[in-house]
Chain A
Amino acid sequence: MMIQIKINKRLHGSNADMTLDVDLSIKEGSFIALTGQSGSGKTTLLRILAGLEEADGVIKVGEDIWQEESLKIPTQKRHIGFVFQDYALFENMSVLQNLLFVSKDRDLAFKLLEMTELTQLESRMPNTLSGGQKQRVSLCRAMMSRPKLLLMDEPLSALDVEMRNRLQREILALHKEFNTTTILVSHDPSEIYKLADRVVVLSQGKIVKDGRVKEILRQTEGSQKFSFRGELLDIIKADVVFIAVVSIGQQIVEVVLDEEEMKSFKIGDEVQVSTKAFAPTLSKV
């Protein structure tokens, strides 16, 4: 089974109008990461696939046609799973009721709760849960329809690192268990590396990169160079040299600059920290 997407939609973005123009074929069971700057059309693409937004073009899932010219299958009949960034749980229902709302399959509901270690919380109301717990419920709810296609819109970006790692493992386990095709919108390279087998990069509504994770994420191909992008937080004068404080991901590093170099930077610049590493060493933390 292949999923074929060929859609076109004019978007009125915050910066400028642009056209979302995407032509994608996705193999069954694959895990796709959709990435790109905010406003590049990632969320809109997911919403079009879910049938929550209109667009011109064709969407085919195996033999089923979800959209073609005048025909459009409503969201309700697509049987997809969707995980929102803000969880979007039904606040008036308990954890278990949230799952059973999708389908009356109690065995499946308990199996999912067990897989995500939520069994203890089945009768709790959503507003008593932590963010991580809410997102696990939301993930379980999305699997209740045994979806062919699972769509996730930055599901983990509001969670801390530990909870993120845990949910990443659970997402992967569910993806394999149910043999779904998954599309994940994410900004986090380590998350993409761990979960996805293919990355699609959107920019201004167009696909600018599409390929295997390792090829796309490794920005400095084969040059034996360590290179990290970061933000210049501060420049401190220390005797005759200057020290640039740069944040890279969750870490702060310091790089020594001379006066001439210092002049070409200002605080807030996006910078690249790199070094030729002839013999990089790896040690366990």
Chain B
Amino acid sequence: MIEILQTLDYEPFILSFKLASLTTLILFLISLPLSWYLSQTSSKAKPFIEALTALPIVLPPSVLGFYILVVFSQNSPLGAFFEDVFGVQLVFTFTGLVVASCFYSLPFMVQPLQGGFESINKNMLEASYISGKSKLETIFRVALPNMKPALLTALIVTFAHTVGEFGVVLMVGGSIPGETKVASVAIYEMVEIMDYSMAHVYSGIMIVMSFSVLLSVYTFNKHHNKRFGL
């Protein structure tokens, strides 16, 4: 067993975690203003934006992957633009995977954050404005510290969801070792070539890691809620 673990190719895991970390970071920065806006607005556009951001939850990953593939390809205006201006190719590259993952995991970041912002007593936010603090300062010093469980849920679930994605990654990234071959794709390939023992090892690692991450989130939330008498 130890021998197997020593000789194991960890690159797909490293790639998965690199992808998940970057996606989580980028999505956090994008979702913060978006979820704040959604939590505070009573605009008629709100349900449309909410439905749009929730779309990746219900769509088959293949639909999302297909459109991303079409839009990112060098034949499309956007793909050509990125190629010409930044020299970046978006299809079958790691960069493309990050962008695709950001679309795919967006609701998992936005929804808990929005819920967290909505749960904050509006008077507390107004007390901060009255104290002379800007909206930005209020978000970072009053809102976020008072919604730690929601914040943690958003970060961890986005991370875990990105690690666990398969369909979009396969369609947009393919399976280039060291570039786009993440853990989930690697397992798929092992099953295809009937290397079940390696598939077992990879899958086992995924289960153990995912479970420990989720367990730590729920444990933290339980303690936090107890401390605040919720």
Enumerate chain A interface residues (CB-CB to B < 8 A): 50, 52, 74-82, 84, 86, 88-92, 101-102, 127, 141, 144-145
| Extra 6 A-B pairs, beta carbons < 8 Å, given A52-B129, A75-B129 | A50-B126, A74-B129, A88-B121, A90-B146, A91-B228, A144-B131
- Is B145's beta carbon under 8 Å from chain A? yes
Contacts of B134 in A (CB 8 A): 76
B229 contacts chain A at the CB level, 8 A cutoff: yes
Q: Which residues of B contact A (CB under 8 A)?
A: 121, 123-124, 126-134, 141-142, 145-146, 228-229
Q: For the complex formed, measure the closest distance between the CB of A159 and the CB atoms of chain B, giving whole angstroms.
A: 17
Q: Within the assembled complex, what's the spacing in Å between the Cα atoms of A92 and B228?
A: 10
Across-interface contacts of A52 in B (CB, < 8 A):
126, 129-130
Residues of A within 8 Å of B124, CB to CB, are: 88-91
Instruction: Choose from A50, A84, A86, A145 the contact partner of B132 (Cβ within 8 Å).
Output: A145
How far is A83 from B217 in the complex, measured between Cα atoms in Å? 36
Pick from A84, A89, A145 the residue with the most CB of B within 10 Å. A84
Known contacts A88-B121, A88-B124, A89-B124; is-contact A82 B229 (Cβ 8 Å) = no
Find out whether the CB atom of B127 lies under 8 angstroms from the CB atom of A92.
no
Inter-subunit contact A75/B146 (CB<8 Å) = no
Chain B's interface: helix, strand, loop or mixed, by majority?
helix
The chain A residue sitting closest to B123, CB to CB, is A88
A91 adjacent to B146 (CB under 8 Å): yes
Interchain CA distance A84-B131 in the complex, whole Å: 13
Smallest distance from the beta carbon of B143 to chain A beta carbons, Å? Answer: 10
Mind listing 23 A-B residue pairs with CB under 8 Å? A52-B126, A75-B126, A75-B129, A75-B130, A76-B130, A76-B132, A80-B130, A84-B126, A86-B123, A88-B126, A88-B127, A90-B124, A90-B128, A91-B228, A92-B142, A92-B145, A101-B133, A101-B141, A102-B131, A102-B132, A127-B228, A127-B229, A141-B131
Listed from nearest, the 3 A-B pairs whose CB atoms lie closest are A88-B123, A92-B145, A102-B131
Kindly provide the distance from the CB of B116 to the nearest chain A CB, expressed in whole angstroms: 13
CA gap between A88 and B128 in the complex, in Å? 9
A284 CB, min distance to chain B CBs, angstroms: 41
Tell me, in angstroms, the Cα distance from A81 to B7 when the chains sit together: 66
In the complex where A90-B128, A91-B146 touch, is A84 in contact with B123 (Cβ < 8 A)? yes
Residues of A within 8 A of B229 (CB): 127
Query: In the assembled complex, how far is the CB of residue B41 from the closest CB belonging to chain A, in whole angstroms?
Result: 15
Q: By the criterion CB–CB under 8 Å, are B132 and A82 in contact?
A: no
- Complexed CA–CA distance, A76 and B142 (Å): 15
Which chain B residue shows the least CB distance to A78? B130
Give CA–CA (A75, B134) in the complex, Å: 10
- A145-B228 in contact (CB<8A): no
Contacts of A101 in B (CB 8 A): 128, 131, 133, 141
B residues in contact with A75, CB < 8 Å: 126, 129-130
Give A88's nearest chain B residue, CB to CB. B123
Q: Which residues of B contact A78 (CB under 8 A)?
A: 130
Contact partners of B130 in chain A: CB under 8 A: 50, 52, 75-76, 78, 80-82
- Give the interface centre of A50, A75, A77, A80 by most chain B CB atoms within 10 Å: A75
A89 to B229 alpha-carbon distance, docked (Å): 16
Chain B nearest CB: distance from A194 CB in Å? 26
User: Which residue on B lies nearest to A151, using beta carbons?
Assistant: B130
Interfacial chain A residues near B146, Cβ < 8 Å: 90-92
B121 CB → nearest A CB, Å: 6
List B contacts of A79 (CB < 8 A).
Answer: 132
A149 to chain B minimum Cβ distance, whole angstroms, is 11
Q: How far is the CB of B226 from chain A (nearest CB, A)?
A: 12
Tell me the minimal C-beta distance from A141 to chain B in angstroms. 8
**Contact partners of B145 in chain A: CB under 8 A:** 92
Q: Hey, which chain A residues are within 8 Å of B123, CB to CB? A: 84, 86, 88
Residue of B130, B141, B142, B146 most packed against chain A (CB within 10 A)? B130
| A50 and B126 alpha carbons, distance in the complex (Å) | 10
CA distance A78 to B126 in the complex (A): 13
The CA-CA distance from A101 to B146 in the complex, in Å, is 15
User: Chain B residues with Cβ under 8 A from A92's Cβ?
Assistant: 142, 145-146
Name A52's closest neighbour in chain B (CB-CB): B126
Q: Which residues of B contact A141 (CB under 8 A)?
A: 127, 131
The answer for the CA separation of A91 and B124 in the assembled complex, in Å, is 9
Roughly how many angstroms separate A193 CA and B124 CA in the complex, as a whole number?
Answer: 30
Q: Tell me the bound Cα distance from A90 to B127 in angstroms.
A: 8
Which chain A residue has the least Cβ–Cβ distance from B134? A76
